[in-house]
Structure 1
Amino acid sequence: MKSLMIVAAAALAMMATPTLAQSDAAMMFASPSKLTQTDGKDIYNAICAGCHMAEGQGAVGAGMYPALAGNETLEAAGYPIYVIIHGQKAMPALGNVLSDEQIAAVVGYIRTNFGNNYPEEVTVQEVTDSR
């Protein structure tokens, strides 16, 4: 009987873990002050590389994370700005996590790295206008 109670307690603990993890993740993204990086590369490495990979090659696993490397949809800065702010499919909305300056920096970074050659400056005003 005692071993059955231990098994039941362990099962309940395992079922509660995802809920706690989701709450922790939501809290992590609740305040822009959680991310202090201002350089596009640093922001990419802190947030984006976990899904889009270090070299922007994308990945398939628990979801499909599109490659940013050689990605023609990055030609117009408005598209990645919108997706970062508002999210899309599995991409979470990060508009409440990143400042306009941080979004402009990371969009500028992904548009000029990973084989992308879209050097037009991404302005903070473009980001502000997309909110």
Structure 2
Amino acid sequence: MSQHDDQRPEPQKTPLEESGFEPYEVNRPIPVLVLAVTVALIAWGVYTLWADSGPSTETAAEAEAPVAGIDSAPAIADNASALVSAGATVFAANCATCHQANGSGISEAVPPLVGSRYVTGPAETPVQILLHGIKGPIEVAGNQYDGRMPRFGETLTDSEIAAVVSYIRQQWGNSAAFVEPAFVAQQRERFTADRGPWNGGAELEQVTGVPARLARATATEASQ
């Protein structure tokens, strides 16, 4: 190796290196406002997680709301307007196909609900028909029907039956008292769930007192 190669020039220093400056970070405290907002957000998040993980406050009555065949049924309240509104929903989903939306029924096949003594008479009559169904001859508005209506005691709750009975007793010119869920519960206890459908108007007369023959029916229906 030559002497010329050993005499390499020393690297030049930058002005910053020659000045002996050592970098450092200025201490910049976090503003109080930012700290306050951060703490508030953390506290809110903790509270939200705690609240969401707490026990449910849903009551047993609220849990009973779903109606068979309906995605979401309206809550059934104690006041009359809510009861009828809920009943309209239950009727549309379970009854309107046969009895029609206007309660007129189907000629020679399904009896009408308009002015029917089985609807506007003692409330136990429509309740028992809904709970257990009915088959065999029945006379409504001077016409004979001999079909079969299925029971709904296993698919509708007491509140839903009370709502739909209240609805049909208040629609299409009918004017009869509303029905409470507690009354439906009492009627449900009278007979076993598997007793089978009522055997026409004759058996209903024995249980509810509603006359099977139009000649002994109420004035409302006899006038039709």
**TM above 0.5:** yes
Establish whether residue 100 from structure 1 lines up as the match of residue 158 from structure 2.
yes
Count of aligned residue pairs for this structure pair: 98
Alignment correspondent of 2:126: 80
Call closer, same or farther: CA 1:66–1:33 in 2, change over 3 Å. closer
Residue 174 of structure 2 is aligned to residue 116 of structure 1 = yes
Q: Which runs of 5+ in 2 are unaligned?
A: 1-66, 75-85, 136-147, 189-224
The ranges of structure 1 where at least 4 consecutive aligned residues each deviate by more than 2 angstroms after the TM superposition are 32-38
Amino acid at match of 2:88: K
TM-score by length of 2: 0.41
Q: Give 2:73's aligned residue.
A: 37
Cα-to-partner distance string for 1:54-108 (whole Å, 9 max, x where unaligned): 10001037xx211001112222110000000000011101100100000000000
Aligned partners of 1:100 and 1:66: how far apart in 2? 24
Unaligned stretches of 5+ in structure 1? Answer: 1-31
More helix by share: 1
% identity of equivalent residues: 36
Q: Distance in 1 between matches of 2:150 and 2:97?
A: 13
CA RMSD after TM alignment: 1.8
C-alpha separation in 1, matches of 2:154 and 2:186: 15
Among residues 47, 69, 73, which one is paired with 2:114 in the alignment? 69
Q: Which has the larger radius of gyration?
A: 2
Q: Alpha carbons of 1:85 and 1:114: their partners in 2 closer, same or farther (altered >3 Å)?
A: same
